[in-house]
Structure 1
Amino acid sequence: MKNDQKKNMKSNTRSEKKSKLQLLHQYYTYTGFYKFLGLSIKKALPPILLFIAALLFVNYFVINVNDVLLYVTENYSDYVVFAVFFASESFLGLVPPEIFIAWSDKATTPILYLSILALLSYIGGIISYFIGKSITKIPAMHDYLEIKMAKHIKNTRKWGGFLIIVGALLPIPFSMTSIAAGMIKYSFIGYLLFGLLRFVRFYLYAIAIFSLL
């Protein structure tokens, strides 16, 4: 009897887990998350391919990219480059991270420099999160960003962590996703955990960029 009860309890637990997953799947289907994810990937691919094509074109027909990166490495302090990158990642992500990933390949220790860039991007995202959180206390700024980032905020409210994952991995400005997460007061611990995928993005992109240069 006890064995039967245990088996029934296990099967009930499995069915509960399955039903929760099914409900979650239904929710993301009905709210259009999968459609959004597909569109995001489609939008992400052209910029990546365009960047690679532009990099190859410039390298073979305009100027040797390696020479440019070496010039930057030799004439600008690493701290200056890191500072520019950190500022960009903290405020709307205006400069594509791929440029800095390519720069890290010319460093004496590429993996270390790449890891520093990934860490700075992660910390920059945290700063953006708190910017979003503090903006809610300034009515004028809050109202402006509510309109400016309406779609981002709406999607973050609907999908939360999954949207942070998309922002961390795809070429969508991670800073904007982080600001939106802060504005809706998304769980900070959850944000930190999902944001760790930022490191994955940098290492994956580095594999492609390092092989081209």
Structure 2
Amino acid sequence: MNPRSVKKTRLQLLHQYYSYTGFYKFLGTSLKKALPPILLFIAGLLIINYFVININDLLIYVTENYADYIVFSVFFASESLLGLIPPEIFIAWSDKAASPILYLSILALLSYLGGVISYFIGKAITKIPSVHEYLEVKMAKHIKNTRKWGGFLIVVGALLPIPFSITSIAAGMIRYSFVSYLLFGLLRFVRFYLYALAIFNLV
């Protein structure tokens, strides 16, 4: 049988498409960019712990002096508005709670819900011409890639140390399928549990 006459499978066609569009190169570049921040965070955490202030003592102070709902509220606000505070700080905080896994799960859920809010913020932004134009310029490449690769870019935003809120806003701006967004966004839980495995053993 002539190999050329063999019909390509859906998987082969997808592989061919992502190869031609440069998705694999983009993903590889994203992974390379993601690794240094992770290593820097771990190194910074160790340096602060040994030379500046004992992180265990700091986290215990926070848990003893601030109500849990305040910490959760600050985290939820951050995850809903551009992800300004690194989630790793809150993951480390959850390790000092009476039920670390429960608190970690709540953080993961709040991050997921914060992403949903960001998605609708993105949709709302498109209704403001001046803001929309500004963000289209600043986030042009990000939005272009989201249009091209859709769910895969959301997966990258959910798993890697890229502000998930930014990816969610971009998804909302291009009106990416909300149901698909919710499904891909569930990987946010995976990220929190994987990071917890490392962070819980550091602090």
Instruction: Name the TM-score class by shorter chain.
Output: over 0.9
- Residues 69-108 of structure 1, C-alpha deviation per residue, up to 9 Å, x if partnerless? 0001111111111111111100111111000000000001
The Cα shift of 1:114 comes to 0.3
Which piece of structure 1 moves more, 113-122 or 146-155?
Answer: 146-155
What is the correspondence of 1:51-200 to structure 2 with a 5 Å cutoff? 51-200=41-190
- 1:140 positional shift: 1.1
Structure whose alpha-carbon radius of gyration is higher:
1
Tell me the distance in 2 between the aligned counterparts of 1:81 and 1:144: 32
In the alignment, the residues of structure 2 paired with residue 39 and residue 101 of structure 1 have an alpha-carbon distance, to the nearest angstrom, of: 26
Give the number of aligned pairs: 198
- How high is the sequence identity, in percent, across the aligned residues? 82
2:30 alignment counterpart: 40
Cα displacement string for residues 20-68 of structure 1 (whole angstroms, at most 9, x for unaligned residues): 2111111111111111111111111111111111111111122111000
Deviations 1:90-133, CA, capped at 9 Å, x for gaps? 01111110000000000010000000000000000000000011
Q: 1:191 offset after TM fit, Å?
A: 0.2
Bigger CA drift: 190-199 or 70-79?
Answer: 70-79
Counterparts of 2:107 and 2:119 in 1: how far apart (Å)? 18
| Matched ranges for 1:21-36 at <5 A | 21-36=11-26
Q: Which residue matches 1:10?
A: none
More helix by share: 1
Q: Distance in 2 between matches of 1:126 and 1:39?
A: 26
Instruction: Provide structure 2 residue ranges, at least 5 long, that are not aligned to the other structure.
Output: 1-5
Match of 2:76, as an amino acid?
F
Question: Amino acid of the residue matched to residue 186 of structure 2?
Answer: L
From 182, 196, 203, the counterpart of 1:206: 196
TM-score, with length taken from structure 1:
0.91
Distance in structure 2 (CA, Å) of the matches to 1:99 and 1:199: 16
Consecutive unaligned residues of structure 1, counting only runs of 5 or more, are: 1-14
1:164-208 CA-partner distances (Å, limit 9, x unpaired)? 001000001100100010011100000000000000000000000
Question: Normalization by structure 2: what TM-score?
Answer: 0.95
Letter in 2 for 1:196: L
Describe the SS at the equivalent of 1:212.
coil
Displaced runs of 4+ in structure 1, greater than 6 A? Answer: none
For the residues of structure 2 that align with 1:180 and 1:31, how far apart are their CA atoms?
19
